[in-house]
Chain A
Amino acid sequence: MSSLSTTTAADAVPAVRVHELSRAFGTLQAIDNVSFSVAPGEIFGLVGPDGAGKTTLMRMLAGVLAPDHGRIELDGIDVQHQSEQAKRHLSYMPQRFGLYEDLTVAENIFFYGELFSVATSDRRTRSETLLHAAGLTDFRHRRAGQLSGGMKQKLGLICALIHTPRVLLLDEPTTGVDPVSRRDFWAILYQLREQGVTIVLSTAYMDEAERCTRLALVHGGRIRQCDTPARLKAAMPGSLLELVAADPRAIHGALRHQPGVLGSLLMGDRVHVRVDNATRRMPQLNNFLGEQGLDIQGMEQVEPGIEDVFVALLDEEAPA
Chain B
Amino acid sequence: MFERLYVMLMKEFIELKRDHWALFRLTVPLLIQMLVFGYAATFTVHHVRTAVLDLDHSQASRALVSHFAASPNFAIVDQPDTPATITRDIDQNKAVIALVIHAGFGRKLGNGTRAPLQVIVDGTNSNTALIALGYVNQIVAQFSVAQPQSPAMIAPTVTPAAFVTLQERPWYNEGLDERWFFIPGVIGTLTLMQVVSLTAFAIVREREVGTLEQIMVSPIRPFEFILGKTMPFFLIGLADIGLVVSFGLLWFHVPFVGNPWILLLGASLFLFAALGMGLLLSTFSQTQQQAFALNFFFVNPFFILSGFAFPIASMPKALQWFTVINPLRYFLVIIRAVFLKGVGLEVLWPQLLALAVLALGMLTASTLRFRKSLD
| Interfacial residues, chain A to chain B (CB-CB below 8 A) | 59, 62-66, 84, 87-88, 90-92, 94, 96-103, 107, 110-112, 114-117, 143, 159
A27 to B301, CA, bound (A): 36
Question: A102-B15, A115-B7 known; A87 and B210 CB under 8 Å?
Answer: no
Say yes or no: is B374 at the interface (Cβ < 8 Å to chain A).
yes
**In whole Å, how far is B226's beta carbon from the nearest beta carbon of chain A?**
15
The chain B residues found within 8 Å of chain A, CB to CB, are 3-4, 6-7, 11, 14-15, 18-19, 206, 209-221, 374-375
| Assembly CA distance A43 to B215 (angstroms) | 24
Contacts of A96 in B (CB 8 A): 210
Contacts of B211 in A (CB 8 A): 98-100
Q: Which residues of A contact B11 (CB under 8 A)?
A: 100, 103, 107, 111
**A84 proximity list for chain B (CB < 8 A):** 219, 221
Which partner residue on chain B sits nearest A116 by CB separation? B218
Contact call B375/A87, Cβ cutoff below 8 A? no
The distance from the CB of B282 to the nearest CB of chain A, in whole angstroms, is 16
**What chain A residues lie within 8 Å of B19 (beta carbons)?**
102
Chain B residue at smallest Cβ distance from A23: B375
Interface pair A63/B7, CB less than 8 Å apart: no
- Chain B residues lying within 8 Å of A107, measured Cβ to Cβ, are 11, 14
Name which residue of chain A comes closest to B16, CB basis: A102
Contact (A100, B213) CB under 8 Å given A84-B219, A88-B219: no
Are the CB atoms of B3 and A64 closer together than 8 Å? no
Do B14 and A90 touch across chains, with their CB atoms under 8 A apart?
A: no
A111 touches B7 (CB 8 A): yes
Q: How far is the CB of A194 from chain B (nearest CB, A)?
A: 24
Residue pair A63, B217 in contact (C-beta under 8 Å)? yes
B212 contact set on A, CB distance < 8 A: 98
Among A65, A88, A117, the one with the most B-chain Cβ atoms within 10 Å of its Cβ is: A117
15 A-B pairs besides A65-B375, A84-B219, A103-B14 with CB distance below 8 A are: A66-B375, A87-B219, A90-B217, A92-B214, A92-B217, A98-B212, A98-B215, A99-B209, A100-B15, A102-B19, A103-B11, A111-B7, A114-B4, A115-B4, A115-B218
Query: Contacts A102-B15, A103-B11 given: A114-B213 contact, CB under 8 Å?
Result: no
Contact B217 A64 (CB under 8 A): yes
**A110 to chain B: closest residue by CB:** B7
Q: How far is the CB of A55 from chain B (nearest CB, A)?
A: 11
| Chain B: minimal CB distance from A79 (Å) | 11
Most chain A Cβ neighbours within 10 Å, of B3, B206, B216: B216
Q: How far is the CA of A59 from the CA of B213 in the complex (A)?
A: 9
Given the known A-B contacts A97-B210, A98-B212, A99-B211, are A62 and B217 also in contact in the complex, defined by CB atoms under 8 Å? Answer: yes
Q: CA separation between A110 and B374, bound complex, in Å? A: 24
> Given that A114-B3, A114-B4 are known contacts, is A64 also in contact with B210, CB under 8 Å in the complex?
no
Chain A residues closer than 8 Å to B18, beta-carbon distance: 102-103, 143
Q: How far is the CB of B204 from chain A (nearest CB, A)?
A: 13
Name which residue of chain B comes closest to A117, CB basis.
Answer: B3
Sample 15 A-B pairs with CB under 8 A, ordered by A number. Answer: A62-B217, A64-B216, A84-B219, A90-B217, A98-B212, A98-B213, A98-B214, A99-B209, A99-B211, A100-B15, A100-B211, A103-B11, A112-B218, A117-B3, A117-B219
Measured between C-beta atoms, what is the minimum distance from A211 to chain B in Å?
25
Q: How far is the CB of B232 from chain A (nearest CB, A)?
A: 14
Q: Let me know if B3 and A94 touch, CB within 8 A.
A: no
Q: In the complex, how many angstroms separate the beta carbon of B15 from the nearest chain A beta carbon?
A: 5
Which residues on B sit within 8 Å (CB–CB) of A115? 4, 7, 215, 218-220
Return A316 CB to nearest CB of chain B, in Å: 34
Tell me, rounded to whole Å, the shortest Cβ–Cβ distance linking A233 to chain B.
Answer: 34
Within the complex, what minimum Cβ distance (angstroms) separates B179 from chain A? 40
Question: In the complex, which residues of chain B have a beta carbon less than 8 angstroms from the beta carbon of A62?
Answer: 217
Q: Which residues of B contact A143 (CB under 8 A)?
A: 18
What distance in Å separates the Cβ of A191 from its nearest Cβ neighbour in chain B? 22
Whole-angstrom distance between the alpha carbons of A113 and B214 in the complex? 12
| Complexed CA–CA distance, A111 and B8 (Å) | 8
Shortest distance in angstroms between A95's beta carbon and chain B's nearest beta carbon?
9
Name A112's closest neighbour in chain B (CB-CB). Answer: B218
Complex Cα–Cα for A64 and B372 (A): 10
- Give bound CA distance, A64 to B214, whole Å: 9
Bound complex: CA of A115 vs CA of B218, how far in Å?
6
Residue pair B217, A87 in contact (C-beta under 8 Å) = yes
Cβ–Cβ < 8 Å partners of A90 in chain B:
217
Interface centre among B3, B4, B210 (most CB of A within 10 A): B210
A residues in contact with B216, CB < 8 Å: 64
Look across to chain B and name the residue whose beta carbon is closest to the beta carbon of A96: B210
> Max chain A CB contacts within 10 Å: which of B15, B19, B214, B218?
B214
Contact (Cβ within 8 A) B218 A87: yes
A111 to B6 alpha-carbon distance, docked (Å): 10
Distance of A97 Cα from B211 Cα, bound (Å):
7
Shortest Cβ-Cβ A-B pairs, 5 listed: A98-B211, A98-B210, A114-B7, A115-B218, A98-B214
What is the CB-to-nearest-CB distance from A72 to chain B, in angstroms, rounded to a whole number? 13
Given known A-B contacts A98-B210, A98-B212, A116 and B14 have beta carbons under 8 A apart? no
Tell me whether A98 and B217 are in contact in the complex, defined as CB-CB below 8 angstroms, given that A66-B375, A103-B15, A117-B3 are known contacts: no
- Find chain A residues with CB under 8 A from B206 CB: 98
Q: Are the C-beta atoms of A117 and B4 separated by less than 8 Å?
A: yes
A117 to B18 Cα, complex, angstroms: 25
Chain B residue with Cβ nearest A114: B7
Q: Kindly provide the distance from the CB of B218 to the nearest chain A CB, expressed in whole angstroms.
A: 4
Smallest Cβ-Cβ distance to A25: which chain B residue = B375
For B212, give the chain A residue with the smallest CB separation.
Answer: A98
For B4, list chain A residues within 8 Å (CB): 114-115, 117
When distances are taken between beta carbons in the complex, the residues of chain B under 8 Å from A112 are 214, 218
A103–B19 alpha-carbon span in the complex (Å)? 11
Count chain A CB atoms within 10 A of each CB in B4, B11, B215, B374 and give the residue with the most.
B11
Task: Give chain A residues whose Cβ lies under 8 Å from the Cβ of B374.
Answer: 64-65
